[in-house]
Amino acid sequence: MLSARADRWTLWVVGIAALLALPILTVFATALQPAGPVWRHLVDTVLADYLANSILLMLGVGIGTLLIGVPTAWLIGVCEFPGRRFFEWALLLPMAIPAYIIAYTYTGLLDFAGPLQSALRETFGWTRHDYAFPEIRSLPGAVVMLTLVLYPYVYLLARAAFLEQSAAVLEVSRSLGAGPWRRFFNLTLPLARPSLIAGMSLVQMEALADYGTVQYFGVSTFTTGIFRVWFGMNDAIAAAQLAALLLLFVFALLVLEQLSRRQLRFHPTSARQQRLPRLVLRGRRGGLATLACAMPLLCGFVIPASVLAVWAARTMPQMLDERFLRLMANSLLLAMGAAGLILVLALLLGYGQRLRPRPLVRLAVRGASLGYAVPGAVIAIGVMLPLAAIDRNVDGWARVGFGVSTGLLLSGTLVALLFAYCARFLPVALHGVEAGLTRLRPSMDDAARTLGASPRAVLWRVHVPILRGSLLTVLLLVFVDVLKELPATLILRPFNFNTLAVRTYELASDERLADSAGFALAIVLAGVGPVILLSRAIGRGRLEP
């Protein structure tokens, strides 16, 4: 009963998903080979540590980002208090700061040799054992650092969900006598669940994939383990098996999440939407609301950015040359191109899944969205190997057929880099797109189809305009992610092509923090502009009828 046209959607979605899953399939293929004696060693010594630390990190960051992201999103979305308009976009700022950079700045500030502890020792004449100070470079420290820069993901998705929630439902509950707390916990929160879960699982995946922060803090996780086995012990197969294990774990979590909301529908029941009057917080309650929004902004942005600015003050003047402008242009163009491309792919996959919700399609889309939990370097190698194989085959074929060598067509070009970005960051976009589509009633599709619109037209002319806010959010998330991305860029970029992140890394890994601060600050500032612009656009998108 399926027409040829209908099948084409399935084909497209599965095809794109398979392509994007290629790097991960490469990892699995490598993992299937028999490993050396390294596993014995891992089980005997460090594996338990890796597991425990990774799980604690994931849970800690998940809880931390919910605790910051949800209340702030609710305050901004539903209430009115002093400074709300400012915090609406300012709360997003921490996401412009790469996790390893915030780790460097807080270490510089709070470490034993840093200014704070040194001042304490000098003032009170203490020595090392006279006082207790929380150690920043530890597992809890890593949880706090990652939470501070990742909570905006939860905040963004939660806020979008709160804004798009049906006022009618809340009005009914209000007229039935439910107080604000009860409305929040019994209605607002459960209705926003797809977005909250999407935000939290993104954040947890990012925490699992983090390498820079945990490595600097000396916390051994699965990710540091993969690199240690791969490079230190020179065993690529065992490293791939570790990575595969990580992937299976994430896959299981994603499937569980899907199953848990299988029977539920989250779309509004009424088409007529009216905005509820904001809950006005005055006096002490208003002050508390302001404080609740100010703290994450202060700790996640103002303090680290100030530290960077102080460090960069001396090196800034000689940094701003022609080369710097090129770095800036490279970073921005790459991030914009990748973000646009990824958004389109995510729309195709998300909508395709809505059109054809059959197991094969679902599985393909899930498979393509694992990349976010994988360290960028692993994705990069997973991109490098198949592309090189393609190049080799094309080259061999051209040599035989035409007597010419085509050399490398894909490897070492921006195509390889964009491919890696798509494989790694598609899940970010897909989560947002899916969460958005879930809130659209299927009857809307049916109505449009009845009126003669093709499935494609429904997507571009109905869904995209309605979901503009969600889609812009997605665009922003991916843009900032690509801007900060380091490992894949470092591994796959072409000759004579650098980005701000690469430059920052080169100086920081040479332990010239003061020199790298200027470039780190440039990444932050490059991210801030779009954050503000898009935040405005999201706000405007909501007000349109």
Partner 1 sequence: MSKPSKLGVFFFTLWLVSGLLAAPLLAADEVNIYSARKEDLIKPLLDDFSKQTGITVNLVTGKEETLLQRLQSEGANTPADLLLTTDAGRLAAARQAGVLQAVTSESLTQHIPAAYRDPEGYWFGLSVRARPILYAKDRVKPTELSTYEDLAAPKWRGKVCVRSSDSIYNQSLVAGMIAHHGEAKTEAWAKGLVANFSRPPKGGDRDQIKAVAAGECDITLANTYYLGGMLSSSDEAEREAAAKVAVFWPDAQTTGVHVNVSGAGVTAHARHRDHAVKLLEFLASDQAQRWYAETNNEYPVNPAIPPSATLQSWGTFKVDTLNVAKLGELNAAAVQLMDRAGWK
Residue 383 tokens read as 């991109």
CB of 42 to partner 1, least distance (A): 8
Phi, psi angle pair for 227, to nearest 5°: -70, -35
Q: Which is nearer to partner 1, 77 or 541 (CB)?
A: 541
Regarding 443 and contact with partner 1 (CB under 8 A), the answer is no
Measured distance CA(362)–CA(373) in Å, rounded: 19
Strands 279-280 vs 79-80: parallel, antiparallel or unpaired: parallel
Q: Does 112 bind partner 1 (CB under 8 A)?
A: yes
Instruction: Give CA–CA dist 413/397, Å, rounded.
Output: 21
Q: Residue count at the site for partner 1 (CB under 8 A)? A: 79
Helix (H), strand (E) at residue 80: strand 79-80
What residues numbered 244-303 form the site for partner 1, per CB under 8 A? none
CB-based contacts of 3: which residues, under 8 Å, 6+ apart? none
Half-sphere exposure of residue 223: CA atoms within 13 angstroms, side-chain side: 28
Min CB(471)–partner 1 separation in Å:
10
Q: Specify the DSSP element, H or E, that contains 194.
A: helix 193-209
Q: Which of residues 150-169 bind partner 1 (CB under 8 A)?
A: none
**385 binds partner 1 per the rule CB under 8 A:** yes
Site string for partner 1, 183-222 (x = CB under 8 A): --------------------------------xxxx-x--
Among residues 380, 467, 475, 520, the one that binds partner 1 under rule CB under 8 A: 380
Contacting range for partner 1; rule: CB under 8 A; set: 4-12, 233-241, 276-284, 434-442: 233-241
For partner 1, the closer of residues 329 and 360 by Cβ is: 329
Residue 88 has which token pair?
A: 């609406």
By CB under 8 A, residue 460 contacts partner 1: yes
Tokens representing residue 128 in the block? 């090392």
Q: Which of 153, 144, 143 is nearest to 195 (CA)?
A: 153
Applying CB under 8 A, which part among 15-23, 172-180, 188-196, 401-409 lies near partner 1?
Answer: 401-409
Chosen residue from 19, 22, 46, 167 binding partner 1 by CB under 8 A: 46
Q: In terms of CB distance, is 112 or 251 closer to partner 1?
A: 112
Any contact of residue 51 with partner 1 (CB under 8 A)? no
Question: For partner 1, which residue of 355, 398, 514, 537 counts as binding (CB under 8 A)?
Answer: 514
Q: Which is nearer to partner 1, 370 or 492 (CB)?
A: 492
Quick one: which of 138, 146, 134 has its CA closest to 58? Answer: 146
Nearer to partner 1, 340 or 442 (CB): 340
Q: Which helix (H) or strand (E) holds 280?
A: strand 279-280
Nearest Cα to 268, choosing from 3, 103, 466, 126?
A: 466
Return the residue matching tokens 């909570």: 151
Interacting stretch for partner 1, rule CB under 8 A, among 4-12, 406-414, 476-484, 537-545?
406-414
Residues pairing with 280 in the sheet: 80
The distance of closest approach from Cβ of residue 247 to partner 1 in the complex, given in angstroms and rounded to an integer, is: 20
C-alpha 527/C-alpha 499 separation (Å) is: 14
**Which residues ranging from 293 to 312 are in contact with partner 1 (CB under 8 A)?**
311
Stretch 121-150 residues interacting with partner 1 (CB under 8 A): 127-128, 135, 137
